[in-house]
Amino acid sequence: MAGLIERYIDRLPFELSDPIVSIEEGSTPLVPAPRLSERVNADVYLKIEGANPTGSFKDRGMTGAVSAAAREGAKAVICASTGNTAASAAAYAARAGMTCAVLVPDGKIAAGKLAQALIYGARVIALAGNFDVALKLVRELADRHPISLVNSVNDFRIEGQKTASFEIIDEIGSIDVMCIPVGNAGNITAYWKGYKEYGESPELNGYQAEGAAPLVLGHPVEHPETVASAIRIGNPARWEEAMAAVTESRGQIRAVSDAEILDAYTWLPANEGVFCEPASAASVAGLLKYGVSDAARERAEGQRPKVVCILTGNGLKDPDTAFDNVGSVIPCAPEMSAIEAAVLG
Ligand SMILES: *Cc1c(COP(=O)(O)O)cnc(C)c1O
């Protein structure tokens, strides 16, 4: 299977002769969710972005950003990250033979993501500050040194990420509604760009965690807090673009509480067999909380509306949050009677 730059080369600012850095990202599963569909009276699909090579959608942007950096002759990349960008940048830099440094908020990053960044060989710097501070610092650093910045302020990230829209439309045709978690707002920006380039206009609904909801409040949040660490961001870099995306698409950015996020996070694996990380579950939490809009139902003209929830990252990234929200294992002696009691309850 080809990576996404090769797959969509005609729609991306690359040539096949460029030094493309790919781990065959993209072409992720779009899985029907029958139980969720029943709950919201719509045909709901889950876009499993956790199936990308490092387990999140960030790989779509990273093949773009690191390929562009390679074309420019860059030897080093840097990013600020709540975790997944770090893991992805580290992997693509390793693939390209570049060095990589990542700045992460100290103590606020999921265990799996930290393990990934380290094992791919990045220099991992734990900043005594939050993501917004980290991003400001790496932007300044990249201005002062010959290091390529691969955060989603880099337009090649957006170019790579927009291909997810193409995949959805290529697979199931026009959709009515899309639900997506919003942190730094690069991804919702990218999806809208992709849909527009395809002449599509689904209603885009973005969801932020209540404690980190600057786009809902209309002002930056100085101390963002949420269990969904990937969207613990108080001042999104793509603020204007995200608001334009929802306005132009007749959607909204709304908030979901941590309790609602965790409900969706535990409900989805137990009912659809799909395990995503907490931030990703915000898309499903939002759909469950707010439902499908009357306007979207009207546009579907009597058909069941087609809804896609973007599951941005793999649940295995953050085992600690999983353990905190499920039952415990059942201890058992190696005897039949004990096993019967344990198995049969
Ligand atoms: C980065 C990330 C987000 C947020 O995407 P933005 O482009 O920052 O809005 C959501 N979920 C996961 C799992 C992420 O890694």
Q: Which CATH number fits domain 58-154: 2.40.160.10, 3.60.21.10, 3.40.50.1100, 3.20.20.70?
A: 3.40.50.1100
Q: Is 81 in the pocket of ligand 1 (CB under 6 A)?
A: no
- The letter for the amino acid at 270 is A
- Per-residue pLDDT tens digits for 37-76: 999 999 999 999 999 999 999 999 999 999 999 999 999 9
Look at 265 and 152; give whichever has higher pLDDT: 265
Which atom of ligand 1 approaches the CA of 189 most closely? 7
Reduced to 3 states, what is the DSSP secondary structure of residue 180? strand
The 10s digit of each residue's pLDDT in 73-96 is 999 999 999 899 999 999 999 999
Structure tokens given for 203: 């209603």
Q: Are domains 4-55+156-324 and 58-154 of this chain identical in fold?
A: yes
Look at ligand 1, atom 13, and give the residue with the nearest C-alpha.
Answer: 313
The H-assigned helical ranges of 109-238 are 111-119, 131-144, 155-161, 163-172, 186-197, 214-217
Report the nearest atom of ligand 1 relative to the CA of 280: 11
d(CA 312, ligand 1 centre) in Å = 6
Distance 182 CA to ligand 1 centre (A): 6
Give 277's DSSP letter.
-
Q: Are 230 and 313 in contact (CB under 8 A)?
A: yes
pLDDT band at 345 (very low <50, low <70, confident <90, very high): confident
**Ligand 1 mean position to 171 CA, how many Å?**
23
279 lines ligand 1 (CB under 6 A): yes
Q: State the pLDDT at residue 302.
A: 86
> What residue spans define the domains of the chain?
4-55+156-324, 58-154
Per-position DSSP letters for 192-228, written without gaps between them: HHHHHHTT--PEEEEEEEGGG-HHHHTS--SS---S-
For residues 146-151, give the mean pLDDT: 94
> Which ligand 1 atom is nearest residue 161's CA?
7
Q: Is 184 in the pocket of ligand 1 (CB under 6 A)?
A: yes
The architecture of the domain spanning 4-55+156-324 is 3-Layer(aba) Sandwich (3.40)
Interval between CA 143 and ligand 1 midpoint (Å)? 24
| pTM for the structure as a whole | 0.96
94 Cα to the center of ligand 1, angstroms: 22
Q: What is the mean pLDDT of the chain?
A: 96
Ligand 1 within 6 A of 187 CB? yes
**254 closest CA partner among 292, 294, 290, 224:** 290
**One-letter amino acid identity for 194?**
G
| Closest protein CA for atom 1 of ligand 1 | 230
